Structure 1
């Protein structure tokens, strides 16, 4: 069974991307799932630490065969011209141990506007920069938070899905939230 590594809302920060890719390597995950907002900081955000969209794209491209990505509200068509993997779809679906994982950024679908999912499926999204792991009407609703701009006093964070357990971790490795798909 694959070990999946989830990140969202890089917003062009070379500093945080390098940190999280070191964690990806140490976690020995099989794939990186990027839930949007890869290269640009967006008009509502300040410039992130070590803002460098060009180098962020170059670094992400070194992992192109391991990335599954969706489009965020700050992503544009020009981004796909420099990124060497598809990232313009508003959502992607991954099958994981008999359930659908609906991957999206969160500006179209989220916990308040769920797509059509079956009992036991999951929606995993970014956008709000707040870690979330809950069950809503037998649908798993998960947000790994943001690696660059966490909100509501949360730490910079990412997600790991392994053996039917989704853990949201701070960059120091501490578990912030956890949910089991066996529940």
Structure 2
């Protein structure tokens, strides 16, 4: 027989401590974003050092380029390992990468040390794919591929050899040729992925 008194066991009161609380928003002012901003700030210094005459200036430009390149890996690792991923970082990080490599390629071509057509092909691919990924983001995200990471590594290596003084022409040409081939191939692969992603989204 019911006594009319509610049974606490039948309707337990939730323990406030057991209710998961949402993670607090990540502040844009964090070490990963500071490193990304520092990489962007180093670009004008790098270009200024690169256009100066003399071996010492070239080595200084190489040092700045190396430091900026290293921060690219460090800020990404920090953001993922410490939960510091922000919308600002997602946008600023690729911009910083393109600014550094683009400035290096354009400056080297302006100095007559790298064919302009190589710089144009790489920049068109980089800017075009970046814009394309923003356009198709409503259909889904195109993840970075291993080929894309290889492309970045080869570009950085080729630019490094062009910055360093000395008789390194065969090594410069071979590395830049490899970087150019991978850049074009991965660009075409991203276009194909975007096409498939859009077709799948619109057909479903």
TM-score, length of structure 2 as denominator length: 0.22
Q: Higher strand fraction: Structure 1 or Structure 2?
A: 1
Q: Which has the larger radius of gyration?
A: 2
Q: Higher helix fraction: Structure 1 or Structure 2?
A: 2
TM-score, length of structure 1 as denominator length: 0.23
